[in-house]
């Protein structure tokens, strides 16, 4: 007995039941223009944000220096009143020339004598002495080419065992701190995110430090970005395979550290 309700051979069969609605198209098909505009918008942010923020910060720095230095220039030597427009960066240029002249004057005998006398006078002041000595030592440490401060990036277990943080070696511990500790320790500056200028000073034994292959600039970028910007691992493949998911031993005592 033949089924009269069966469709004839070759006719298409509708899989959907009678009265059923077709499935809606996917989101990417319904709104292709909106998705493309969103991608273009994000790409524009990625391109313009670094340039815009950099220009803004540089402009703010130049404006800050100009606002502090330009009022100190005598009116006769200041070109601003004679021009119909302001000259951005004139105060910064004057500050740079002034610093160069001060450095040149202190290079001769008379300049060193004046600097030595003024240094002795300031050191004898009760309140100003502490600020002056601290600022002078910090400036000499950061500016002097022979300094080894912030030359290595290390991993240190902080604030407890099993949790690692990025730190920067600032020198070898000396004085009373080293005399009261059993192991040889080094000074480690532990920065905070996203402001690396603040942080903690830790005195950590050398054997508990893990020296990283990344540069100081890469370590600072990683701290500022909160770990979003991670530098690549530049270690040889055999070293990476051998130390994967393992804490490698720290440097030998004194290896890669500034000498006291």
**β-strand pairing of 199-205 with 185-191:** antiparallel
Domain ranges of the chain: 106-143, 153-242
Q: Hey, is 230 helix, strand or coil?
A: coil
| pLDDT of 23 above 90 | no
Lowest mean pLDDT among 8-17, 71-80, 106-115: 8-17
Q: Per residue in 115-150, pLDDT tens? A: 888 888 888 888 888 888 888 877 776 666 555 567
**CB of 186 closer than 8 Å to CB of 201:** no
Phi, psi dihedrals of residue 163, rounded to the nearest 5°:
-115, 125
**Mean pLDDT value across the chain:** 79
Q: Hey, is 118 helix, strand or coil?
A: helix
**CB of 77 closer than 8 Å to CB of 69:** no
CA distance linking residue 42 with residue 40, whole number of Å: 6
CB-count exposure of residue 106 (10 Å: 0-12, 13-18, 19+) = middle
**CB of 153 closer than 8 Å to CB of 166:** yes
């Amino acid at each position: 007995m033949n089924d009269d309700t069966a469709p004839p051979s070759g006719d298409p069969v509708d899989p959907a039941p009678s009265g059923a609605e077709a499935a809606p198209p996917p989101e990417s098909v319904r709104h292709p223009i909106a998705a493309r505009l969103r991608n273009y918008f994000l790409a524009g942010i990625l391109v313009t944000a670094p340039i815009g923020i950099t220009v803004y910060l540089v402009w703010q720095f130049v404006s800050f220096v100009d606002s502090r230095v330009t009022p100190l220039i005598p009116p006769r030597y200041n070109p601003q009143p004679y021009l119909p427009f302001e000259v951005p960066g004139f105060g910064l240029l004057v500050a740079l020339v002034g610093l160069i002249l001060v450095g040149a004057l202190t290079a001769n005998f008379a300049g060193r004598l004046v600097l030595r006398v003024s240094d002795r006078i300031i050191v004898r002041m009760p309140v100003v002495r502490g600020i002056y000595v601290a600022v002078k030592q910090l400036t000499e440490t950061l500016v002097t080419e022979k300094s080894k401060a912030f030359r290595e990036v290390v991993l240190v277990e902080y604030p407890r065992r099993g949790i690692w943080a990025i730190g920067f070696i600032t020198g070898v511990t000396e004085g009373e701190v080293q005399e009261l500790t059993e192991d040889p320790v080094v000074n480690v500056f532990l920065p905070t995110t996203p402001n690396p200028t603040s942080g903690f000073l830790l005195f950590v034994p050398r054997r508990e430090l893990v020296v990283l292959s990344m540069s100081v600039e890469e370590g600072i970028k990683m701290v500022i970005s909160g770990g979003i910007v991670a530098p690549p691992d530049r270690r040889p493949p055999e070293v990476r395979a051998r130390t994967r998911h393992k804490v490698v031993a720290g440097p030998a005592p004194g290896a890669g550290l500034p000498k006291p």
